Amino acid sequence: MLTQVVLWSIFLKRAYLSLDCMHRR
């Protein structure tokens, strides 16, 4: 269960970073 939370947090972080990069362009 803990690993699932970690993976979810990483996924959200990557999505947020990708969105930020796209917005900066």
Domain that holds residue 5: 1-25
pLDDT tens for each residue of 1-25: 799 999 999 999 999 999 998 877 7
Instruction: Please report the pLDDT score of residue 22 as a whole number.
Output: 85
Per the listing, tokens 């947020």 go with: 16
Tokens 């900066």 belong to residue: 24
pLDDT at 18: 94
Q: How many domains does the chain have?
A: 1
Q: What pLDDT score does 1 carry?
A: 77
Tokens matching residue 16: 């947020």
Residue 16: what residue type? Y
Report the SS3 class of residue 12: helix
